[in-house]
Structure 1
Amino acid sequence: MPLPAPAAPRERLHTRHIRIQGYRRDDGLWDIEGHLTDVKDHEVQLASGPRAAGLPIHEMWLRLTVDATLTIRDACAATDAMPYQDSCDTITAVYRQLIGLRIAPGFTKKVRELFGGVRGCTHITELIGTVATGAYQTLVGQLPMPEDRKPFQLDGCHALDTTGPIVARFYPRWYRGEGERR
């Protein structure tokens, strides 16, 4: 169901597109690629000069290569459009520091420590979380799930609360009943 109609007439000023694509590689690993663009519908005056309507202000890429444990085996970033030429694009190599990290609890905190503030690009750093979620989505159904291990998605969102009716219906083994969460 789409959003309700806006309460007043409006004019679009900005569009951000984020696209995540996941690939299975022939070597048993997975590539997850993120692409972010920011575009204005009107010419905008940046500190570095004017940017024409429709031309990207930001266009960034991030690829994470992960294994079956969601450990990052390779990482690369690229910046094609930016407000500050020869500055914004010089930070991309730092994202190789993601290699060796596991996409698991604590990952977001580690990303902030590594790339927060002036240690990274705001937009590429934001993209990491979305690419990480894309990694989970890509691997769903790709690996056998041990029957003795709680599926990773349970207790990860409102619908899959192990004390709720969806888990009771579709994952009865892991249902904990109201107030019994572990």
Structure 2
Amino acid sequence: MPLPPPRVPRQKAHLRQISVEGYRRDDGMLELEACLRDTKDLDYVLASGVRRAGDAIHEMRVRVTLDADFTIVDAEACSERVPYPGGCETIAPAYRQLIGLNLMHGFRRTVGEMFSDVRGCSHMTELLLSLPTVAIQTLATFRRDNEDGGEKPFQLDRCHALETSTQTVRLYYPKWHRERAKDS
């Protein structure tokens, strides 16, 4: 169901686009490439100069390589467009600290701690928060979700719709459906 139409006329001022592409490399590892891009619909005056409507204010990119356990084995970051040239882009090497982190075990919390405030770029750090779910979606591309390998499908009990006591699971994964526990 789509959002209802706006109730009051409005003028668009800002667009943030976040894209993350997932790849399976020839060596079997997964690679994620993420980009955050901000543009304004009006000319935007900064201390560093005017950015024309439609020109990128921010354009940050991150690439991580993951092993079979979703541990980051390589990480690269860059800032192609920044509001303060000569300052913003100098933080990119700090994101090599991602190497060794696991996307499935406290990644978002750890990233928030590692790169908060002046230890990182708020836009680059925000971009990283999408990586765990995109990694799962990338891996899922190469798995059939209804294969019966004897193990519970990885996506069950990871969101409200696929909680194993729901009607959704009863319909699509009947083997794994369980009745909701009654309160005593």
TM-score > 0.5 by shorter chain: yes
Q: How does 1:1-182 map to 2 (within 5 A)?
A: 1-142=1-142, 147-179=149-181
Detail structure 1 runs of 4+ shifted over 6 Å in the superposition: none
Which has the higher mean CA deviation after the structures are superposed, 145-154 or 110-119?
Answer: 145-154
Moved more, 77-86 or 161-170: 161-170
Find the aligned partners of 1:85 and 1:25 in 2 and give their Cα distance: 34
Deviations 1:96-142 (A, max 9, x none): 11111111131111111211221111111111111222111111042
5+ long unaligned stretches in structure 2: none
Q: Deviations over 1:42-71 (max 9, x none)?
A: 011123222111111100001111122111
1:168: Cα distance to partner? 1.9
SS at match of 1:60: strand
Give the percent of matched residue pairs that are identical in Structure 1 and Structure 2.
Answer: 49
Matched to 2:28, the amino acid is: G
Q: Work out whether residues 103 and 131 of structure 2, in 8 Å CA contact, stay in contact via their aligned partners in 1.
A: no
2 CA distance for matches of 1:29 and 1:103? Answer: 14
State the secondary structure of the residue aligned to 1:176: coil
Distance in 2 of aligned mates of 1:179 and 1:64: 41
Unpaired runs of 5+ residues, structure 1, are none
Contact between 1:30 and 1:66, CA under 8 Å: does it hold in 2?
A: yes
Query: Cα deviations across residues 145-173 of structure 1 (Å, max 9, x unaligned)?
Result: 88344333222211111221111222233
Shift of 1:179: 2.8
SS in 1 for 2:58: strand
Q: Secondary structure at the match of 1:36?
A: strand
Which amino acid in 1 is paired with 2:154? F
Aligned residue-pair number: 180
Task: Give 3-state SS (helix, strand or coil) of 1:101's partner.
Answer: coil
1: CA distance, partners of 2:61 / 2:15: 17
CA distance in 1, matches of 2:112, 2:152: 28
